[in-house]
Amino acid sequence: MNSIEEFYSLEKKSGYAESLFNDLSDINSRLNAFLNITRISGQNYPFSVKDNICVKNVETTANSKILKSYLPPFNATVVERMLSKNFDFIGKTNMDEFGFGTFGLNSERTPRNPFNEDYVAGGSSSGAAIATAVLKYHIAIAESTGGSISAPSAFCGVVGFTPTYGAVSRHGLIDYANSLDKIGLMSRSAKDIRYVFDIIKGPDNYDSTCIDIEKRKMQSDEGKGAKNTIFIINQINDLLDESVKSHFSGLVSKLENMGFAIKTIDFNLLDKAIPTYYIISMAEASTNLARYTGFKYGLKNNEFSKDYNSFFTESRSNFGTEAKRRIILGTFVRGASVKSKYYSKALKVRGLLIAKMKEILRQGFILSPTMPIMTPKIDDANSLTPVQNYGLDILTIPPNLSGFPHVSFPYDYDKGLPMGAQLISDHFEDYSLLDFVENWENSFKYQFKYNLGSI
Amino acid sequence: MMEAIKIGLEIHVAIPTKTKLFCSCNAYNEQEPNMSVCPICMGFPGSKPMLNAKALEIAKSVANALHSDIAKTISFERKVYFYPDLPKSFQITQLSNPISQGGFIELQSSKKIRIRRIQIEEDPAKILHEEDYSLIDFNRSGRPLLEIVTEPDIFNIDELKEFMNELKSILYYLGIDINTELKADVNVSNQGERVEVKNITGLKDMINAALFEIKRQEAARASGAIINKETRSYDGANMITVSMREKESDEEYGIIYEPDLGEYSIKNLPIIEPTYTNKIAKELAEKYSASEKLIIEQIMFDKNALQLINKFAGTYKINIVISAIEVLKRYNKTLDDEKFEALLIAISKNVLINSETINDIEQGKTIETSSEIDESLIDSAINSMLLENKQLLKDYVNNPKVFNFIIGQIAKKYNASPKYISTRLNILLPKFVAGK
Ligand SMILES: [Zn+2]
């Protein structure tokens, strides 16, 4: 039984919804999971929505000051599909501004790790992961561009699933980098994810990149990867913290005992993934963010007496630091004089990376720790330079850059903090990831500090 | 020998689809400002473009008509710049994989004006500048535009006119009315660097801008100035071009691939077959030994005329068919085939066609044909008119227009065919003149 069926099978005491709202508001004031919380009926299973996904008439800002008090006139397709199945919307979750971050720290309200509040919750879907870790019955609609589902899922000890690029409609998702953005899910079990993924996936008349993964799987010879073979990339060894390395080798032994064939393999292009990702994502982001001019929605600039350039410049000073950095870098890499050195080259390298990874994924899964480091303290993460920070996405970027489905699942605990591993499969093989995690859950018990709303 | 003047064009025309290029809003709602808008064409966060297949179909048909190489797959690019009429602050256009590349339009002289590329893109919103404020109407935002770029193969104004006329006719037959919204950039080089004149609306201004630029560059050269690469803007009110910027500070658009649209195969899209009126006129003229010029005038921008000629020329003399078409135009009528044939018969039988007869034909009444008119009556009418009015004869010698006056008078009096009267008059009049 998944937790959705379980929830509906249980009888709720009167005042259930009210006390859940109060408990959640209380804990939220410390952990900053939600940017806003909506009162729910208590009768329906709740879902949260990352703040970069539009919910009609609910403030949706991608956690940016520039979109302050923006009320979308329409629901994102995912939201529409959840509501049509009678799920209750419970609130918008905290995130790095526009999804720009690995630790959730590009937010005015710092998200905190529910296992230890001195530590980061991860980003950019920070609030989605915290909400999943504190609520007993809940599923989070999250989004990943370069690892924004995997990273916080690993730090908060929940299952974070990022589907094949295009499996879920992006209609209503505020763009970060359109060729990379994927809506995904976080939950406390793979079963719940399977249940909700069935609801939200599939083609949409409002997103032309949205596909039917099952149809595509049947049409192509892709995704025939052996389901009991797991590859570990040799090149990750040098990137891992000692402590991560030892926990991870424990996982590998366990999987071997479960009957998986573990193989190592070379992936020489791994170090090209980060520059490639950041060039493409920033180039696209800088064009997506061009529309925020203080004109039609969000924070409005009323200085209409100014000339266009001053008006736009003044409005756009309201972006946060990381957003400004990415707009400047992104504008630079697509500039006519350097485009071939950066943007166009990155597109080519991306093609090579996809081909090379596909070669491996046709023969099995790729497994790695989700993050190369142990969960950092908030203060330590804050003192990282941007380049150090970007470097920590090395393990989550490859599948994101190539549109391969991947899942981060809890596999161990260290000093009370969870650790996550990330499994990647071939395009359209989304369900084999969920099969794997369900299998893993049979012999591994996830731990949670909070169980708000348990009945 | 190097040609002195070289003109190249970038022509933008609106593609006549019901809905906009990337959303389902009405593309041509001119009623109320900002009523034909949605999150997509307003660039609201979270909205994604959905490509209008009908626009592709029309664009593909144009490419086919201009002998342009149609791409197997097409894709789109983002052209980024900040301006209040551009809701996303980037325009979705085509750069690396446009609808088609190459092609030509053939002039009467069989000279080919080469086409460089044909692409589709979205129109920005419309800005209405008032005295101390501006208003934006987003009804136009996202309307599909077709851009046709030529090589600098046009060497003079006559070629420019002929090229545009021919293009207009081809587009007209594909359902594109170029008169509604024609915008162009005209590149002119007169023995020097290329000067681009932007923001030209309409054919008349294209010609005026090109003329002005040719003369301006000539005068500049004569005074010893060097013509540099430059972008100028056309000032329609004063019929002059004004410098915008030197080419060194080329605009930077930071163009990237449009990831929301991906690649489209247009291989299987249907094509509307092209109609080349100059070719058809030539063929018809040869076949029926008629005037090519007369035919082209009728059919260049009139599908109906071409249809009627194709249907009835052969059965009836082509000149009769053309006369009948002219009658339709003169009286602003459309007739079904049966009634049109009645008109053809009437004209063949020299019936005088006036508003009365055309109304009778329209209402399906039988027309009295000239065979029922007593021919001797006409002869005697001519005789008595000329005998009674000597002054007429005198005038005729000095002014042959009197001929038409006599025909008019008699035609009116006896309701007879002017052509018949004219035949008789040709026979009788010389006798009178000689007799005098
Ligand atoms: Zn629209």
Residues of chain A contacting B, Cβ within 8 Å? 53-54, 60, 62, 67, 70, 72-74, 76, 170-175, 177-179, 205-209, 283-284, 286-287, 290-291, 293, 295-297, 304, 308-309, 312, 331, 334-336, 339, 343, 347
Q: How confident is the model at residue B415 (pLDDT cuts 50, 70, 90)?
A: low
In this prediction, residues A358-383 reach a mean pLDDT of 97
B96 and B200 belong to one structural domain: yes
Most confident of A292-296, B100-104, B378-382: B100-104
| Catalytic residue flag (residue A50) | yes
pLDDT band at A302; cut points 50, 70, 90: confident
Ranked by mean pLDDT, which of B50-59, B222-231, B390-399 comes out on top? B50-59
- If pLDDT is split at 50, 70 and 90, which confidence band does A439 have? very high
pLDDT at B369: 59
Name the least confident of B113-122, B249-258, B325-334: B249-258
Cβ of A170 and B48 within 8 Å?
A: yes
In chain A, % helix, strand, coil (3-state, to 5) comes to: 40, 15, 40
With a cut of 60, say whether residue B149 has pLDDT above it: yes
Of A170, A208, A304, nearest to B51 by CB-CB distance is A208
Q: Is the pLDDT of residue A144 over 80?
A: yes
- Catalytic site residue from A48, A50, A144, A315: A50
Would strands A88-93 and A46-50 be described as parallel, antiparallel, or unpaired? parallel
Summarize the confidence of residues B28-40 as an average pLDDT: 91
Whole-number Å distance, alpha carbon B13 to ligand 1 midpoint, is: 20
* Residue that is written with structure tokens 């500048």 in the block: B129
| Residue where a domain terminates, one of B305, B336, B362 | B362
pLDDT at B374 over 50: yes
pLDDT at B427: 77
| B327 residue type, one letter | V
Residue B436 pLDDT > 60:
no
Average pLDDT over every residue of B153-170:
96
Instruction: Give the residue numbers spanning the domain of A376.
Output: 3-218+369-443
Q: How far is A172 from chain B (nearest CA, A)?
A: 4
Segment B41-60 shows an average pLDDT of: 97
Distance CA A377, CA B124 (A): 48
Q: Could you tell me if residue A343 is inside a domain?
A: no
* DSSP state for residue A205 in the 8-state scheme: T
Instruction: Examine the pLDDT at B393 and tell me if it is beyond 90.
Output: no
A106 domain-assigned: yes
Question: What is the distance, to the nearest Å, from the Cα of residue B263 to the centroid of all Cα atoms in its chain?
Answer: 33
B246 to chain A nearest CA, in Å?
Answer: 18
Q: Contact at 8 Å (CB) between A369 and A243?
A: no
B129/B165 same-domain check: yes
Residue A240 lies in a domain: no
pLDDT of B429 strictly over 80: no
pLDDT value of residue B409: 79
**Are B31 and B85 members of one domain?**
yes
pLDDT at A187: 98
- Given a cut of 80, whether residue B411 has pLDDT beyond it is no
pLDDT in tens, B75-96: 999 999 999 999 999 999 999 9
Two tokens, residue B334: 């459309």
Instruction: Find tokens 């957003």 and name the residue.
Output: A323
Share of chain A above pLDDT 90, in %: 95
Range of weakest confidence among A324-333, A404-413, B57-66, B292-301? B292-301
The answer to whether residue B33 sits within a structural domain is: yes
- pLDDT for B74 equals 97
Dist. CA A281 → ligand 1 center (Å) = 27
Question: Does residue A284 sit within a domain?
Answer: no
Using pLDDT thresholds of 50, 70 and 90, give the confidence band for residue B402. confident
pLDDT level of residue B356 (50, 70, 90 thresholds):
confident
Q: What average pLDDT does this structure show over B278-295? A: 92
> Residue B270 falls within a domain, yes or no?
no
Place of tokens 């000597």: B390
CATH number at residue B390: 1.10.10
Q: Of A390-394, B233-237, B418-422, which range is least confident?
A: B418-422
Closest to B90 (Cα-Cα) out of A347, A331, A146: A331
- Given this model, what pLDDT does residue A113 score? 98
Looking at residue B1, its pLDDT comes to: 46
Separation of CA A78 and ligand 1 centre (Å):
21
Does the beta carbon of B260 lie under 8 angstroms from any beta carbon of chain A?
A: yes
Judge if B223 and B339 occupy the same domain: no
Looking up residue A24, the CATH number of its domain turns out to be 3.90.1300.10
The whole-model pTM stands at: 0.89
**CA distance linking residue A89 with residue A100, whole number of Å:** 25
Which residue among A48, A64, A124, A408 is the active-site one?
A124
Identify whether B272 is part of a domain.
Answer: no
On the question of a cis peptide bond just before residue A246, with omega within 30 degrees of 0, the verdict is no
pLDDT at B418 over 80: no
List of residues 6+ apart from A391 with CB closer than 8 A: A274
For residue A368, the cross-strand partners are A422
Q: Average pLDDT, stretch A55-66?
A: 98
Q: Which of B254, B259, B260 sits opposite A334 (nearest CB)?
A: B254
pLDDT for res A236: 96
Instruction: Give the total number of structural domains in chain A.
Output: 1
The total domain count for chain B is 3
Percentage of residues of chain B with pLDDT beyond 90: 62
Neighbours of ion ligand 1 (CB under 5 A): B 23, 25, 38, 40-41
User: Which ipTM was obtained for this model?
Assistant: 0.95
pLDDT confidence of residue A157: 98
Instruction: Determine which of B37, B80, B135, B257 to mutate to test the interface with A (most A C-beta atoms within 10 Å).
Output: B257
Quick one: B16 and B148 in the same domain?
A: yes
- Beta carbons of B80 and A290 less than 8 Å apart: yes
pLDDT digits 0-9 by tens, A205-225: 999 999 999 999 988 765 566
* Alpha-carbon span B282 to A287, nearest angstrom: 52
Of B338, B362, B386, which closes a domain?
B362
Range of the domain at B148: 5-265
B329 and B425 assigned to the same domain = no
Average pLDDT over residues B110-132: 95
Q: Please provide the average confidence, as pLDDT, over all residues in chain A.
A: 96
Let me know if A65 is a catalytic residue: no
Q: Is residue A295 part of a domain?
A: no
B174-190 confidence digits (pLDDT tens): 999 877 678 999 999 98
User: Which segment of A131-135, A375-379, A386-390, B411-415 scores lowest on mean pLDDT?
Assistant: B411-415
